[in-house]
Structure 1
């Protein structure tokens, strides 16, 4: 394996993470994980990136019974070995802020390259995802069938349950700063090779990192130093605009702060950012209104969205806060919108982009109210579409990028085989497929299955987003806007 290790070391030297002088030291450190016999065994040179090289090494260790052939054990071993190749957090953070003086793109590009090299960003697993775009009458949408997160075996799930501690609260969650360098175990992913950098927003300490399972270009996470719950308020808009002032080549957004309409992790305040332009940003408006150089636009988008823009940062923030607070108190019983019952229901999913010297704040209006007929949410995915997506529609999907479950790949394969061989299969997609047959000739589906599947999945995603929209037509949306603004 020495040749594979040397290739990793060569890449670390090229990234200026280690010195050539360190090679012997790194060889010896690696032998803490790789028995000498395996370390020096003859092996072909594999010209590849560090991600592929380290994966090949841990697979060989598993084959040789040096480590257990379990996903979490191999991940932990790979993270520990790659940790040897990258400097300590203080060095990475100092390097990041030094490069920030040369330019923010220079700093994020370098930090991203380090996160890729260290195998913290699971590049090879991300490559497995099936991604495509789909046109709709609301504009193009993006879809990803998420195959990147490895599934545990039944044995591993049982082991995790048996080893779970009721008082195990370190780190408190997967976002906490205490994850940096954490070895990990069956119930917590390894973070030995994890690095974060401190930044300031709203006068407070925050941390910036990249996501290990990226759904878009340079998918990053910005999280509070403190383990405090998500809360959308005036401070949110200050934080988001401060971020784009520092990183104008990135967007940033926050999940809503309530269950059902929020993300999967509401216990730790955090935002998501990155170098990607989402479909929502390309959406045209059907109504515009300008007040004191601040422009409001109601967007042609499946979810009820207001874009507030202007060059005066304070004015744009103030208008966004006012609109958010107005929505939080808004009731329209005829439309099923109640701001409060036994708990608050109205909130927003905010997104910020800075283009040149102009701020664009998107407010996606959300409501998490439930009813007896709709116990999973009145403005949530329709029950007949749960076979496509049942989980929360969070920030990424609200912006037009669907993250769909891995089971859809197998479903597609089974459906395609059924159309080609004519055999009937039992599937939760029966009603969906029957609708296809009314739209397309049987031979067309048979000969163009992938094209039809992707098109119909895109239409389903649009329908899912529309189900989460609080105003179902442009007229009622405009009435709301004029009512709360008095214009």
Structure 2
């Protein structure tokens, strides 16, 4: 590849994405030249047909670095590359116009356009995501999904030091604020130059629709409030989630819980997640059914799942909103000391909320309500219904929306740690991390010589199942079933 050919090919991609017109070609090529620190372009160069934006941008970044356009810090290289990829990205108004135009054909046409653009302009980090390890593990509830997250690069010491010395700023207020759209970034805030947000009307309020840069599943998207305000599960939450799946019927839409311990990593900004993925919990069948006398048009049941899930189905979304609000309000006030379920502690703190997930089932709307409780105790200081100490070596973080639905997001450290565990199980003299030792001993004692990779993956699946069982408020036991039945009786 040579410089002139790369510039011409990159300009061609920018035109094809709709960011520029053919008449803009010379202007665009000169902008690219200036950005990478060059001044000369060969004559009569025609597009070669190279369509891989990452190959071209990597080459142009190499030229720019040689020309001292950025230094060795990864953050500064990412900031530069996002500026380069911004040439492939139409303006926010144009992206919204095209999305609306394609939506008139079908919702899938619109999301296909936006998803493809977000990959081509490297907002979705496809190369990094491809490093993640993903597999399925069998369980009595169906196949669980396991991902070892290797996509986010570790920060080197220079980067960490630079971030500490960087100027602090409250703009944008958080990573989800709409002000991130087009933000160049800085050492302590990621670049978003090539980031675009599609506006959606949800229950009379404008929300933003975007994709996740480090997606955990297919078309992993985020729907965020324009205002920077805390998350809150309420009637309007159900209305918005059902409105999302009505507008985007091939997507699910769900919300993290709104309380610490059981909530997601960002509770300060009201947002939901969605995407085109069929999670293990969505495939789970009902363990039992029950009637809601006040809501005759709603079919209700308990999902056969390690966490405590009520599934509601109806033809009209308004019926689901009414029934879900009723269940939420009942759960927020419900206690059962026999199974350590306490709605409010003596100081008045509320401990009960719901993780809701909406989807379409043909002509019907479906809503899963996962009951959550964030109480702690002397025995379980991290949370009674949170991963307990025995599985912290695998998963200690909050069990948020994605994990609730049966997809484990496990830390990248496990990649190397599990290799040591594998060798230990096979009888090699290796040093296992202290927090894995008990688990590794159990695995070694039970090992029967089967394929070691399958054996360890199966063990991870069992550990994740234990995590979900810990997070369930009504356990899948005779005692738990009886307790769940007592709560259901409160709904009749």
State the partner residue of 1:94.
Answer: 97
Deviation at 1:383, TM superposition (A): 0.9
Instruction: Give the alignment partner of residue 452 of structure 1, picking from 441, 452, 455.
Output: 455
CA deviation profile, 1:57-83 (whole Å, cap 9, x unmatched)? 324544665421222111100101111
Deviation at 1:404, TM superposition (A): 0.7
**Partners of 1:304 and 1:477 within 8 A in 2:** no
Report SS of the residue matched to 1:430. Answer: helix
Moved more, 185-194 or 3-12: 3-12
Task: Provide the C-alpha distance between the structure 1 equivalents of 2:12 and 2:49, rounded to a whole number of angstroms.
Answer: 13
CA deviation profile, 1:370-414 (whole Å, cap 9, x unmatched)? 122222111101112111111111001100111111001011222
List gaps (5 residues or longer) in structure 2: none
Taking the TM superposition and a 5 Å limit, the aligned residue runs for 1:385-464 are 385-419=391-425, 422-427=428-433, 428-441=435-448, 443-444=449-450, 448-464=451-467
Report SS of the residue matched to 1:303. Answer: coil
**Partners of 2:37 and 2:64 within 8 A in 1:** no
State the partner residue of 2:88.
Answer: 85
Query: In 2 relative to 1, CA 5–375 (structure 1 residues): closer, same or farther, beyond 3 Å?
Result: farther
The alignment's TM-score, normalised by the length of structure 2, stands at 0.92
Deviation at 1:2, TM superposition (A): 3.1
Moved more, 371-380 or 469-478: 469-478
Moved more, 477-486 or 185-194: 477-486
Query: In 2 relative to 1, CA 15–33 (structure 1 residues): closer, same or farther, beyond 3 Å?
Result: closer
**Partners of 1:288 and 1:298 within 8 A in 2:** yes
Deviation at 1:49, TM superposition (A): 2.0
1:298 aligns with 2:305: no
Taking the TM superposition and a 5 Å limit, the aligned residue runs for 1:16-35 are 16-35=18-37
Query: In 2 relative to 1, CA 361–438 (structure 1 residues): closer, same or farther, beyond 3 Å?
Result: same
**Partners of 2:244 and 2:253 within 8 A in 1:** yes
Instruction: Give the alignment partner of residue 8 of structure 2, picking from 6, 9, 18.
Output: 6
**Partners of 2:421 and 2:432 within 8 A in 1:** no
Taking the TM superposition and a 5 Å limit, the aligned residue runs for 1:17-96 are 17-36=19-38, 47=50, 49-59=52-62, 61-62=64-65, 65-96=68-99
List gaps (5 residues or longer) in structure 1: none
State the partner residue of 1:155.
Answer: 158
The alignment's TM-score, normalised by the length of structure 1, stands at 0.93
Task: Provide the C-alpha distance between the structure 2 equivalents of 1:238 and 1:196, rounded to a whole number of angstroms.
Answer: 21
Report SS of the residue matched to 1:84. Answer: helix
Report SS of the residue matched to 1:277. Answer: coil
Report SS of the residue matched to 2:473. Answer: coil
Report SS of the residue matched to 2:287. Answer: strand
Instruction: Give the alignment partner of residue 124 of structure 1, picking from 116, 122, 127.
Output: 127
Deviation at 1:307, TM superposition (A): 0.3
**Partners of 1:263 and 1:395 within 8 A in 2:** yes
Task: Provide the C-alpha distance between the structure 1 equivalents of 2:457 and 2:99, rounded to a whole number of angstroms.
Answer: 41
**Partners of 1:79 and 1:193 within 8 A in 2:** yes
**Partners of 2:423 and 2:430 within 8 A in 1:** no
Task: Provide the C-alpha distance between the structure 1 equivalents of 2:408 and 2:336, rounded to a whole number of angstroms.
Answer: 29
Task: Provide the C-alpha distance between the structure 2 equivalents of 1:24 and 1:193, rounded to a whole number of angstroms.
Answer: 22
CA deviation profile, 1:426-465 (whole Å, cap 9, x unmatched)? 3121111111123222x43xxx221111111111111111
State the partner residue of 2:481.
Answer: 475
State the partner residue of 1:193.
Answer: 194
Query: In 2 relative to 1, CA 61–312 (structure 1 residues): closer, same or farther, beyond 3 Å?
Result: same
CA deviation profile, 1:160-213 (whole Å, cap 9, x unmatched)? 122252xx2111111111000101001100011010011111111111111111
Task: Provide the C-alpha distance between the structure 2 equivalents of 1:60 and 1:386, rounded to a whole number of angstroms.
Answer: 45
Report SS of the residue matched to 2:145. Answer: strand
Report SS of the residue matched to 1:36. Answer: coil
Residues matched between the structures, number:
477
State the partner residue of 2:243.
Answer: 242
1:380 aligns with 2:386: yes
